[in-house]
Amino acid sequence: MWGGKGVRMPWADTVIWWHCYPLRFVDAERERIDTLGDRVEHRLPRLTAWLDYVIELGTNGLILAPVFDSRTHGYDTLDHFRIDPRLGDDGDIDALIAGARARGIRLLFDGVFNHVSEDHEIVRRALAGGPHSPDGQWIRWVDGYPRGFEGNLDLVELDLTHPPVQDYVVEVMTHWLGRGIDGWRLDAAYAAGPDVWRPLLGRVRAAYPDCWIVAEVIHGDYADFVERSGVDSVTQYELWKAIWSSLNERNFFELAHALGRHAEFGAHFRPLTFIGNHDVTRIATKLLEPRHLPLATALLLMLPGVPSIYAGDEQGFTGEKTDGSAGDDAVRPPFPESPDRLLPFGRDVFARHQDLIGRRRLHPWLVAAQIEVTHLTNATMVVELRGDGQRIALGLNASDTPTQLPLGAGSVRVAEHSWAIG
């Protein structure tokens, strides 16, 4: 895609992602029953059938949560080189990659490299050899026991500083880039810290300089993480929290503060922005006032950064994340076999997404726009976006009454719980 003044933009700056959780999307079993892995269920074609829907929405990127062989939810990997047999096999993933490429859809895989299943062969060898053996040095230990990620003993942490582990991760990443994907989401990248990633990613980029890599980072100094790790982007959790929290509290001062931070990050890199993903309560449920959903959507799709839409949010799906073994079920539901089987209740939300995505496509400079808040009260705000010699003003009204907001040369009457662009 071309930006303003005839300048060709990096491909990642032109992508709006659709984020999908494949195992639940295709209604796969919760757990692998065939421990020997002989049985394969060819369910990935069910996801491939949604690629035209991705285009219809206006998006042109697909982020896939884990697709590799795993024990249960995908984040307990058994084999990084094999597609989960509950999803399919090499032929199925090749067809998905080819289908995406034919439609101009970029593809991002979820790289779960910080930890593996306790049943992974790496862990089995480490346990057999002990902490001080060559095999034992592949994993992290605590008091003679394998260290579990965030206390989950079934998720054993790899030692990403160990050269053979680095070789292994580089091999996995370059293998799938060679198969046709465009980049990686690094799951739990924050756990090992930024410095361990730079030598790994330097080797990956030497082989695939055009790949795009985003790190899952929740708290901390995002710009510092990008600088030290060598990733292209991080997940913008600060903005996610500020969007729903400021709307729930009717406190746009919180959002204004977060936008200041967002502008600082944007001066260094392109944050991955979102209002939903597979790890959090659906935005339509998170908002106390359902009428605020259009405001949250407008903020996602008009603010600078690289937007990601969690599959189903564009249909107004609801679902609350809870504690417990089934705590993610509500936010990771099965989808119909094809888009034409969707219930009609989300059509207005879908059309709103299409409209906003269309507006963003007309102004590709928004990915790196400068931000200025020019009007601010608890329940109303005007955010001015500038770039490439152009200007857009986004007016937000979270109050219960229509309000005159200063957009452009004059004021515009903005209905309650809605937005306007000037």
Is residue 185 a contact partner of residue 216, using CB atoms and an 8 Å limit? yes
CATH 3.40.50.1220 fits 4-368, yes or no: no
Instruction: Give the pLDDT band (50/70/90) at residue 35.
Output: low
The predicted model gives 258-277 an average pLDDT of 98
pLDDT in tens, 135-176: 999 999 999 999 999 999 999 999 999 999 999 999 999 999
> What local confidence, expressed as pLDDT, does residue 38 receive?
73
Is residue 159 a contact partner of residue 137, using CB atoms and an 8 Å limit? yes
> What local confidence, expressed as pLDDT, does residue 325 receive?
81
Query: Is 90 exceeded by the pLDDT of residue 2?
Result: no
Q: Tell me the domain boundaries of the chain.
A: 4-368
* Secondary structure element (H or E) that encloses residue 249, with its range: helix 237-249
When the pLDDT of each residue in the chain is averaged and rounded to a whole number, the result is: 96
Query: Is 80 exceeded by the pLDDT of residue 6?
Result: no
pLDDT in tens, 287-343: 999 999 999 999 999 999 999 999 999 999 999 999 988 899 999 999 999 999 999
> What local confidence, expressed as pLDDT, does residue 326 receive?
87
pLDDT in tens, 240-257: 999 999 999 999 999 999
Query: Is 60 exceeded by the pLDDT of residue 1?
Result: no
Instruction: Supply the pTM of this predicted model.
Output: 0.96
Is residue 31 a contact partner of residue 74, using CB atoms and an 8 Å limit? no
